[in-house]
Amino acid sequence: MRLNLQLLALTLCLNTTAVMAQNDLNPNLFLYSPGPGDGLHAARLTENGWQHIGRLCSSDYGTWGAEKKMYHPSVTQAKDGTWRLVFQVNDHSPQIAVAYSRDLVNWRPQDYPIMSVKPCEKPVVFENEDGTFDIYFRSPKGKRWVSATTDFRKFAADEPSLIDDDAWLRDTATVGGRLYEGNAFTASADFVGRLQQHFDQSGRDWQKTNERMHDDGKRFASLTQPIQATLTVDLAHQKTISDKLIGIFFEDISYAADGGLYAELVQNRDFEYTPRDHRGWNSTTAWHSASPIEIATEHPLHPNNPHYALLRQDTLWNEGWDGIAVEKGKKYDFSMFVFADGQKQDFLVMLIGQDGTVIAKTKLKTRGSEWQQFQAVLTAKATDAKARLAIVPQKAVRVGVDMISLFPQETFKNRKNGLRKDLAETIARLRPKFVRFPGGCMSHGQGLDNIYHWQHTVGPLQARKPDFNIWHYHQTRGLGFYEYFQFCEDIGAEPLPVLAAGVPCQNSAANKEGIGGQQGGIPMSDMPAYIQELLDLIEWANGDPAASKWAKMRAEAGHPEPFHLKYIGIGNEDIISTVFEERYEMICKAIRAKYPEIRICGTVGPFHAPSADYQEGWDYTKKHPDLQFMTDEHYYESTGWFLHNRNYYDNYDRQAAKVYLGEWAASTRTKRPNVETALAEALYLTDIERNGDVVHMTSYAPMLCKDGHSNWNPDMIYFSNTEVRPTMAYEVQRLFGNYGGDRYVRSTISSSKPDLNYRLGASVVKDTKSGATYVKLVNALPVSVSLTVDGLSLSGAQGERFSGKPEDAKAECLPVTLDGAVTLPAYSFTVVKL
């Protein structure tokens, strides 16, 4: 019965869509794809034939590079005027891609319904008389299938269809000299005109986005003299703003955790490296010995840590993370689990310098029949940036060894299993008001199996569950949730854990079944357990050890007092698909019901407006005001974009959820922070302070990057084993972090040349706790600005300033005292306290 109805419906639809195009004398809009990587494009009919208008949308399916392809797009315009798109995603997945739009400009984020066959070839979409839709596709042997949908979000299980070849008839048009297949439509001149205008405007915006200070010589050729400007301060007009505007984003990317902030000096201490971490890696990576290292799993130290090494008499060497940096006179804690099976074994444990000299040496006597931890202290007799660890068995006895660890005794706040002192202190100097962790993409992971489960990262180190890192290396989880929370407490910052919304990263590769993207999300049957895991986190952080097993765990780890968790982030710049929304809502409702005091942070995708996820994310957020306190926006943009979008938050709805600008950075083509990016960020942050009633938090991203292990640029702080190099982005964050307030005083800065105002910024904030007033002044022009200040006296105000050439990677931040006449040097940022 159903098949007949479908056939009938199809005939009707062909009459309204394809036939409309074929019979109409003048279809004027053609939708097509120039190639699989190019997405869906539009062309309009002109006197000179079909002219390209622009790209409407592109595939968001699967991994970057290998996937993100759109094959055989099929579009229909529904009776309600909306546009429905389906396309094939690849030649191996049991999924089709679907999306819809009201105007061909703004698209709802794509969904990838899972079908019973793979691949789903050449999907075509038709609207039925009753307003529902049928999507037909083929399997490789030519069999036809159909799936039905009423709302274009939920799709019925597919079933065989008898539809004939006519369903796949397509229109053709020659655009730019090439013949394409696609769908032709007759649209009103007004509609096509608006589409054209949209793309014309995008082109103009694109030019502004490309503005670079390094071309200022040409841009401001006639600007040779200092200009006058006035800062008008209206002390009578103040508003409360967030006192948490500046925080940090911590993600284990570019070796930020293992080999970075986490002070462990031994690489692959648990012998758990695998090729999943990185091609070519295995249990012996970073270890060396004269003969092949024997790895066993029969008698594991812990089920989560199954591999260990079997040692006889050969020396076992560890190369550390690009070597082990040791300093003369400093002490290092060595520890190792040994399974001696009742035998006695002694070891010499040494640090060997690059020239082969012994820098430190100690003896370890090991006895016992079960796994047991043995410890010793090494004192360095010399400084060496690239020492190695040597473990020398003293007898030809076979013993198992695991969790071989070396920590500097001097860690941040001298904590055991602690953080690298110099790096942590550099971070602490930012005075961040919150710490977001553990990511980024690390939080939602590469595929369902790699979603970050916080409970795998607490407890004894040997019981933590290592995993591969989405950034192509290994996570020991030695830096786990306990350590993150402890760090927050140590630097006086609010913890902001961000965990997956029941979906992995949309850029994930396909799973074993060939399902890519969000891989269909955590199956609904497993969602209760996943939700419980998130509730357990709140209990672990805040609960009473006498009443809760999770809080007891925290107390046993050394922290009986609660961590006072107030915020939790759910989701990380996910595609706001149906799969996402269903799971996100379940999670939020459960948290709200059990812990109404916890402030939930949602997510609105990876880009700013206008973009599909941003739009859908904010629509969802506004429709569910009861669920989230704030939502996380991400955008990495050019300096030009920041210069020309300084009013971005001015018109945000003050009644809606707050904004957490959780990942952002300005960049130029060099992809390294410099004075230009710093000034663009400083200008934008003055605007954010002005909008501190709607923006609750911001964090520059990424924060850390180890030399030689970069996954991403620009970053705020670069480092090696011996050096920490804060960038100009760091200086801006530090200045805003140290000179922040909780009241915004209305103020405007304007110059004698209004066209130049977009390069000037000012912000006046008060800190009601200390009574201080802070004034920030940014001049991103190539000439100095002579500033008149109305409504406030800056005379005698002291603070800090940097200035330089836009391309300078470093400009020193120097103390400054303002006198009566305030001059802002060219390309400078000044902060003073009153």
The Cα 583–Cα 409 span in angstroms is: 44
The minimum distance between CB 660 and ligand AHR, in angstroms, equals 13
**3-class SS of residue 757:** helix
By CB under 6 A, tell whether 9 contacts ligand AHR: no
Query: In terms of CB distance, is 433 or 444 closer to ligand AHR?
Result: 444
- CB closer to ligand AHR, 606 vs 782: 606
Quote the least distance from Cβ 663 to ligand AHR, whole Å.
5
Q: Of the ranges 276-284, 436-444, 625-633, 806-814, which one interacts with ligand AHR (CB under 6 A)?
A: 436-444
**Tokens at 210, concatenated:** 């490309």
Four-residue CA torsion sign, 663, 668, 671, 674: negative
> What part of residues 562-601 is at the interface with ligand AHR (CB under 6 A)?
572-573
Active site residue 573: yes
Give least dist CB 147 to ligand AHR, A. 32
**In this chain, which stretch among 294-302, 378-386, 435-443, 781-789 interacts with ligand AHR, using CB under 6 A?**
435-443
Q: Does residue 702 touch ligand AHR according to CB under 6 A?
A: yes
Name which of residues 594 to 613 contact ligand AHR (CB under 6 A).
606
Q: Tell me which residues in 250-269 interact with ligand AHR (CB under 6 A).
A: 251, 253
CB-side exposure of 320: number of CA atoms within 13 Å?
Answer: 26
Question: Containing H/E element for 787?
Answer: strand 785-790
Q: Does 441 bind ligand AHR (CB under 6 A)?
A: yes
Instruction: Determine, following the binding rule CB under 6 A, whether residue 740 of this chain makes contact with ligand AHR.
Output: no
Helix residue ranges per DSSP H, 651-799 = 675-690, 728-738
| Residue nearest to ligand AHR according to CB distances in the complex | 440
Q: Which is nearer to ligand AHR, 220 or 712 (CB)?
A: 712
Shortest reach from residue 604's CB to ligand AHR, in Å: 13
Place of tokens 């529904």: 78
Residue for token pair 């400078």: 828
- Adjacent-strand bridge partners of 54: 42
Q: At 779, is the secondary structure helix, strand, or coil?
A: strand
**Mask of contacts with ligand AHR, 644-673, x by CB under 6 A?**
-------------------x----------
Find the angle CA(453)-CA(458)-CA(460) to the nearest 5 degrees: 140
Measured from the CB atom, the residue of 251 and 319 that comes closer to ligand AHR is 251
CB of 700 to ligand AHR, least distance (A): 10
- Closest contact distance (angstroms) between CB of 598 and ligand AHR is 22
Nearer to ligand AHR, 249 or 827 (CB): 249
User: How would you classify the pairing of strands 133-138 and 121-127?
Assistant: antiparallel
Nearer to ligand AHR, 402 or 715 (CB): 715
- We find the least distance from the C-beta atom of residue 430 to ligand AHR, in angstroms, to be 17
How far apart, in whole angstroms, are the C-alpha atoms of residue 649 and residue 241?
13
Of 211, 483, 573, 731, catalytic: 573
Q: Give the binding range for ligand AHR (CB under 6 A) out of 127-135, 271-279, 316-324, 433-441.
A: 433-441
Contact (CB, 8 A) for 360 and 379: yes
- Shortest distance, position 151 Cβ to ligand AHR, whole Å: 29
Q: Report residue 345 as tokens.
A: 């074994």
Provide CB contacts within 8 A for 204, sequence distance 6+. Answer: none
- Rank residues 198 and 477 by Cβ distance to ligand AHR and give the closer one: 477
For residue 48, what are the β-bridge partners? none
Beta strands 29-32; 178-185: pairing state: antiparallel
Q: How far apart are CA 90 and CA 58, in angstroms?
A: 14
In the chain, the largest separation of any two C-alpha atoms, in whole Å, equals: 94
Stretch that binds ligand AHR, among 109-117, 146-154, 438-446, 775-783 (CB under 6 A): 438-446
- Which contiguous run of DSSP H or E holds residue 13? helix 2-16
Give the nearer residue to ligand AHR in terms of CB position, either 107 or 250.
Answer: 250
Determine the 3-state secondary structure of 253 from DSSP. Answer: coil
Report CA-CA distances (Å) from 294 to 6, 342, 390, 392, 743: 64, 20, 17, 15, 63
**Token reading at 211:** 């503005």
Contact between 440 and ligand AHR per CB under 6 A: yes
How many residues contact ligand AHR, by CB under 6 A?
12
Q: What residues are labeled active site?
A: 573
Binding footprint of ligand AHR on the chain (CB under 6 A): 251, 253, 439-441, 572-573, 606, 663, 701-702, 712
